[in-house]
Copies of this chain bind each other. A is one copy, B any other.
Amino acid sequence: MNFCSECAQPISQLVPEGDNRQRYVCLSCDIVHYKNPSIVAGTLPTYQEQILLCKRAIEPRKGYWTLPAGFMENGETTEEGALRETLEEANARIKNPRLYTMITVPHISQVHIFFHGELADLDFSCGPESLEVQLFDEVDIPWQELAFPTTSKTLKHFFSDRQTILNENLSTQLPTHVFDISEKDRLKLG
């Protein structure tokens, strides 16, 4: 940020009075331009034993597989954002979405929020940002070709939770997982 988006004067970087962090400040307008984390909203769509993944048609990570997700828009809820992205990327509809993972990725200042839900039907197809959209059994998940660590971590939690629920014969719902992914984790995961 070099210039004030309100008045076009050069921006100063300083710690405002009563604050404890350096901010982008316009001394001409006397306003602080805050930079805050962004929300990525998406879904973990399942159909019976299978998981829906999309192969990305766009950068970053073009050609890699991801859960349908994207930046939340102003004026919508987290759930609406997640369902919209699922519709845009996979032309897919989800029944009874429930919050499943909330993952902060602090080194890029993003919070990724995934809702789990069953596909309402099998009438899915590629949106403009996808090269392929496909259902996978657990054994066929392309672990080496996943686009983002928030996708792989969400899938790992899901298979683990599903096994626990099966083993213990529980009629329970999936839990919600809140965690973060550091830059080190990201590199480990490829």
* A145 in contact (CB, < 8 A): no
* A134 in contact (CB, < 8 A): no
Q: Which residues of B contact A38 (CB under 8 A)?
A: 36
Copies in the assembly, this chain? 2
Q: State the main secondary structure of chain A at its contact with B.
A: loop
Of B2, B39, B77, B106, which one neighbours A106 at CB under 8 angstroms? Answer: B77
Q: Which residues of B contact A4 (CB under 8 A)?
A: 3, 5
Which of A45-53, A59-67, A68-76, A118-126 lines the interface with chain B?
A: A68-76
* A168 in contact (CB, < 8 A): no
* A107 in contact (CB, < 8 A): yes
Q: Is the CB of B104 within 8 A of A74?
A: no
Q: Is the CB of B2 within 8 A of A7?
A: yes
Q: Is the CB of A178 within 8 A of B3?
A: no
Q: Is the CB of B5 within 8 A of A33?
A: yes
Q: Which residues of B contact A18 (CB under 8 A)?
A: 128
Q: Is the CB of A2 within 8 A of B3?
A: no
Within 8 A of B (CB), among A4-22: 4-8, 11, 18, 21
